[in-house]
Amino acid sequence: MGDLLWRYPLPIPGQNLSVGAVRNCPAVDEQGRVYLAIGNRLVALVPERDQARVLWEYATGGTIPGSPAIGNDGNIRVHSRDGLLYCLTRAGEPAWTPAEVGQPLGWASPVVDPDGNTWVCDYHGGLLKVDPRGVRPRAPFFRSHQKFDSTPVIRDQRLYVGAEDGFVYCIALDAARGRNTWDHLAGRGQTEWYINSSPALVGDVLYVAGRDEFLYAFDLDGRLLWRLRLRGQMLASPIVDARGNVYVGLSLIRRGEKDLGKLVQVDGTTHRVRWECPGDGSVESTPVLGGDGVVYFGDNTGHVSAVDSDGRRLWRTDLKAPVRSAGTIAAPGRLLFGSDDGYLCCLCCSSESRAAGGWPK
């Protein structure tokens, strides 16, 4: 396990890629097709044993920093640095004229609700709405003084997103204009610093990894259930298994010293660290949990590790470049991570699929 099966694009001896690091996460549809944003292109791939078969490519007018989002209509949305939101069909054809939404933020990717509306975090603060036909109202759906530089989560007409003022916002989506339903003056959704990670939502609990070295759990009214101090910044997003155990990567960066990092599991009952698995460097990669209980994560030295449910490392593979992307299980035994040298890498793994229940990726 852990063997490198292929890289996309196919490496050419003597030539270096110039598309930039692959730090976003590919999207996978129910048929196993992989949609990767790389450079200024959205690429549809079919992962095979020894290669990635390209179905189509679509070039946008700028690089695409965030992850693609697939709606219930099967169409794929990406937010490009040309200031446009693109929507493509599974055949790689434009579903509508690209919508003007401004520059993308560094950490935020678009999300699609069950009705086909696309939600984009506004570069100038607040939230933009693009309807299923690609129409964007002139005014923002929700205005804020602080940026939502975090990928949101949507459930039951509520959008949960972290902001640079240290608060989590819960924005109601069921009216013509949004409203924050959590009372920040009463301390609802409050952390101690800004938030770039994406929340995890399991049952009636919202898990948030703050930049203040605390892992938070809030109820759906924004009340703090518990928080845990973890030594190291959480630059990645948390995932949660079906038993409520939380997994998150940590980065310990000190001037003049070697960067350190680790993956920790926080017990869902005691809310204390149950185990930790050290990385070879900082861990900025969001892990992915397989159906067999194995969790996979990357680190900034270029290693991808597989860890069992008791925190024992099963294998480690060196991809030779930092791995900051989130992991994805695209098909039985096929694990995907992006690398900073511009490749999507496919590794052999034991998991047939991602875990059922919880928030596995």
pLDDT at 348: 96
Q: What is the pLDDT of residues 71-101, one digit of tens each?
A: 999 999 999 999 999 999 999 999 999 999 9
**What mean pLDDT value characterizes the chain?**
95
What is the pLDDT averaged over residues 313-338? 96
List 168's β-bridge partners, or say none: 162
- Domains of the chain and CATH, by start: 1-10+243-361 (2.130.10.10)
pLDDT at 186: 96
pLDDT at 14: 56
Q: What φ, ψ does residue 146 adopt, rounded to 5°? A: -110, 155
Q: Residue 160: how many CB atoms within 10 A of its CB?
A: 24
CA nearest neighbour of 359 among 247, 230, 221, 196? 247
> Could you tell me the pLDDT band of residue 18, with boundaries at 50, 70 and 90?
low
pLDDT at 19: 66
Lowest mean pLDDT among 75-79, 119-123, 193-197, 310-314: 193-197
Assigned token pair, 292? 């067999």
CA distance 349 to 332: 8
List 77's β-bridge partners, or say none: 69, 87
CA–chain centroid gap for 1, Å, is 25
pLDDT at 259: 82
Q: What φ, ψ does residue 186 adopt, rounded to 5°? A: -90, 5
pLDDT at 176: 94
What is the pLDDT averaged over residues 346-357? 96
> Could you tell me the pLDDT band of residue 258, with boundaries at 50, 70 and 90?
confident
Q: What is the pLDDT of residues 26-38, one digit of tens each?
A: 999 999 999 999 9
pLDDT at 16: 57
**DSSP, res 286:** P
List 56's β-bridge partners, or say none: 44
The answer on pLDDT for 15 being more than 90 is no
pLDDT at 40: 97
Q: What is the pLDDT of residues 121-171, one digit of tens each?
A: 999 999 999 999 999 999 999 999 999 999 999 999 999 999 999 999 999
Q: What is the pLDDT of residues 215-252, one digit of tens each?
A: 999 999 999 999 999 988 899 999 999 999 999 999 98
Contacts of 257 (CB under 8 A, 6+ apart): none
pLDDT at 13: 59
Tokens 């809030």, residue?
218
Helix (H, G, I), strand (E, B) or coil at 28: strand
The answer on pLDDT for 253 being more than 90 is no
What pTM value is reported for the model? 0.95
> Could you tell me the pLDDT band of residue 17, with boundaries at 50, 70 and 90?
low
